[in-house]
Amino acid sequence: MDKIKVIIIDEQPFFRVGVRQILSQQPNMEVIDCDPNDNPIKLIEATLPDIALLGSDLNTPTGLELGRKITRYFPNTKVIVLSPNPGDEVLFEVIKTAAVACLNKNAPANELVSIIQRASNGEYPINETLYTRPVVARQVLRQFEEISSIGRSIESVVAPLTQRETQILNYVADGNTNKQIAHILDISEQTIKNHVSAILRKLNANDRAHAVVLAIRHGWISIDNK
């Protein structure tokens, strides 16, 4: 069984160590940690975790921006925000980052483990929170009404590719298989598969060929040498 890869991003070393010890006791979890000042985006690109735990004061604008970047650039990495005070205002801002859950930082260990497992299975526990938080639910509804009132249509958003994803898509355009690309870049074939999966989701592409066509159309890869 594949392990759930979790990255803990928090500026408090003791908190990271504590959470890591708890999660490391789970036989189906692999855990890494990162200080938010140590370029977590670069580490996420290198490790492609399934879950990103954003903790402590990361419910500040800077922390929320990090959450938005993760969900935008790495759609396969599910963001869970651990807030010391997940009030209505914080929850509303967290929802706008597309995080899958928002949990009190002092929540019991078994609750955190359960949320991580559910998120890795594709669930969105944050939606359940709205049932008991009518103020936040109204804010979310109001925001959608405002979007509708000014005539903005709901369209697929094409997220920009990371440097590594662009590199891989160029190799795909050259006709290389995942195995061949993995050999060229000296990384695992599973990592290539994860990158390709992220590329397809970002571009809303049906398959690899469609992704190449869309990338060329947007000018993200060149056809000069194809």
In the predicted model, is pLDDT for residue 49 greater than 60? yes
CATH of 4-149, one of 3.90.1300.10, 3.40.1080.10, 3.90.660.10, 3.40.50.2300: 3.40.50.2300
Question: For the segment 99-121, what is each residue's pLDDT rounded down to a tens digit?
Answer: 888 888 888 999 999 999 999 99
What pLDDT was estimated at residue 136? 61
CATH of 163-217, one of 3.40.190.10, 1.10.10.10, 3.10.20.600, 1.10.260.40: 1.10.10.10
The mean of the pLDDT values for the chain is 81
What pLDDT was estimated at residue 78? 93
Domain coordinates of the chain in residue numbers? 4-149, 163-217
Question: How far is residue 147 from each of residues 57, 79, 86, 94, 141, measured CA to CA in Å?
Answer: 30, 25, 26, 19, 10
Q: Distance (Å, rounded) from C-alpha 149 to C-alpha 152?
A: 8
**pTM for the whole thing?**
0.65
- Confirm if 195 and 164 have CB atoms less than 8 A apart: yes
Question: For the segment 213-224, what is each residue's pLDDT rounded down to a tens digit?
Answer: 888 777 777 665
In the predicted model, is pLDDT for residue 96 greater than 80? no
Strands (E) across 74-148 are located at 78-83, 101-104
